[in-house]
Amino acid sequence: MVSTPSIPTPAYILSLATAVPKYVIEQSEFEGLGRTIFKDRPSTFARLSKAYENAGIIRRHSCVPIEWYTTATGWKNRTELFVENATTLLHDIAMQALHDAKLSPADIDGIVTVSSTGLSVPSLDALLMEKIPFRRNVERLPIFGLGCAGGVLGLNRVAALARATPGSKWLFLVVELCGLTFRSSDLSKSNIIATALFGDGAAGGVISTDGDGYQVIAGGEYCWPDTKDIMGWTIEEDGFGVQFSRDVPTLVQQNLRTAAENFLSSKNIPPSSIQNYIFHPGGTRVLDALEKAFELDNTRLATARTVLQEYGNMSAPTVLFVLKKSMEQGLTGKSLLGALGPGFSAGFSVLER
C-alpha cells in the first residue's frame, strides 16, 4: 500500500525584515555608467542599451557610490567592502527581526546566513556574533552558491532545522551585494545586462515551530540536467564573472510550471489550492514568462514588479522583499514562493495563513 505524503509540522515566520545600503542610484545613472565602460564597443552597447529601459527598474541601492564602478580593483578590495557592508546590513536585519519577534539575541538557537556575492572566512554569522550578544554555543550554518534561489531554498533549510528541534528559534539572514561583482574589464553582453539589473539588499527573519501567523508548510526544489551554464559565476583574476543565458525566460515559460506542480503533488497540495504566487522578479521578461507559464493575469505579480522597479534584482533577498510587501498588503491563504538559481535550479516553498 502506497502512503499519502503528509504535510510536516509547520514552521512559523515570526518576523521578516528587509534593508538596503545607503547609496541610491537611478537607472539613468547606470545607463551612463554602461555607456562609459563599454565605450570601446559602441555598436554592441547601442544594440543592448534598450535593456536599461526594458528592465522595468527605476532605481537601485548600492553599498558603494557609482564612482566605484569605474575604479574597482581586485579580490582584496571587493572582499573588504563585502565583509564590511554585509555585516552592517545583517546586523540591522537581525536586530529588527529580533525586535519584531519580541526576542533577545540570547533566545536564538541557530543562525543561517545565505550569500553568493562575496566570500568571508570566518563566515558572516561568526562576524555577527562579535556585534550582537548571541549565546556562544549558538548553532551556525553559512550557505554559499544558491544564487537568486537562496531566499527560497534558505527558507526551506531553516524551516527544516526548526522542525528538527521543535521549539528552537532560528535566525535566517540573506545578503547579496551584487554591485561588488561588477568588473569594468568584462565587456561581455552578460555584463552589460548585469549593469541594467542588479542591486544590493538584505532580508531575514526568525523561524520557529512555536508561534502563529504565516506557516512554511512545504519546501522543495528541482535541478534540470545539462543546464549548469545557464546561470552562475566564473572565477576571474579580479573577481566573479557574471554568467547567465538569454534562454532563462524561455526555460521558465516551458518548464517551470511542470516542476512546480510536481513539487506540489509530492506534498499532497493541489495546485488549485494555491491562491497567491510570490516569485523572485529576475527581470521583466522573466515575470512575463511566469505569467504565461502559470496563466496569471497581469495583476497577480504586481507586487513583484513593484519590488523590481524600486530595488532591481538583488538576487536571493529579492523574493523576501516581495513576500514582506505582500504580507503588509494582507496576504492570506496558500502562497507558492518560487525562485531560480544556478544549477540550473528552482526552489519552491508553500506558505499558508
Residue 352 contacts residue 334 (beta carbons within 8 Å) = yes
pLDDT at 2: 44
Please tell me the predicted confidence (pLDDT) of residue 8. Answer: 66
- Residue 231: helix, strand or coil by DSSP? strand
Threshold 0.75, pTM exceeds? yes
- Looking at the chain, the number of H-run helices and the number of E-run strands are 12, 13
The pLDDT of residue 6 is: 53
Q: Which of 63, 148, 178, 223 is catalytic?
A: 148
Type of residue numbered 347: G
What is residue 1's predicted lDDT score, i.e. its pLDDT? 43
Helix (H, G, I), strand (E, B) or coil at 244: strand
Strands (E), the chain: 11-19, 23-26, 59-62, 110-115, 139-144, 169-177, 200-208, 215-223, 231-236, 239-244, 274-279, 334-341, 345-352
Handedness of CA 237, 316, 136, 104 (dihedral sign): positive
Residue with cell 555607456: 35
Give the pLDDT of residue 119: 94
Active site residue 178: no
Write out the DSSP string of 160-200: HHHHHSTT-EEEEEEEEEGGGG--TT--SHHHHHHHHHB-E
CA separation for the pair 269, 30 (Å, rounded): 43
Cell of 222: 528541482
CB under 8 Å, gap of 24 or more: what pairs does 41-44 form? 41/187, 44/187, 44/189, 44/192
How far CA 106 is from CA of 8, 51, 138, 162, 234, in Å, comes to 27, 47, 9, 16, 39
Question: CB count, 10 Å around CB of 96?
Answer: 17
Q: What is 11-208's CATH superfamily?
A: Thiolase/Chalcone synthase (3.40.47.10)
What does the pLDDT profile of the chain (353 residues) look like in tens digits?
444 445 567 899 999 999 999 999 999 898 888 888 777 777 777 777 778 888 889 999 999 999 998 887 889 999 999 999 999 999 999 999 999 999 999 999 999 999 999 999 999 999 999 999 999 999 999 999 999 999 999 999 999 999 999 999 999 999 999 999 988 777 777 777 788 889 999 999 999 999 988 999 999 999 999 888 888 888 888 888 787 777 888 888 999 999 999 999 999 999 999 999 999 999 899 999 999 999 999 899 999 999 999 999 999 999 999 999 999 999 999 999 999 999 899 999 999 99
Phi, psi of 279 (to 5 degrees): -110, 150
Q: For the chain, where do the domains classified as CATH 3.40.47.10 start and end? A: 11-208, 215-352
Query: Which of 221, 226, 16 is closest to 101 using CA atoms?
Result: 16
User: Does domain 215-352 correspond to CATH entry 3.40.50.12640?
Assistant: no
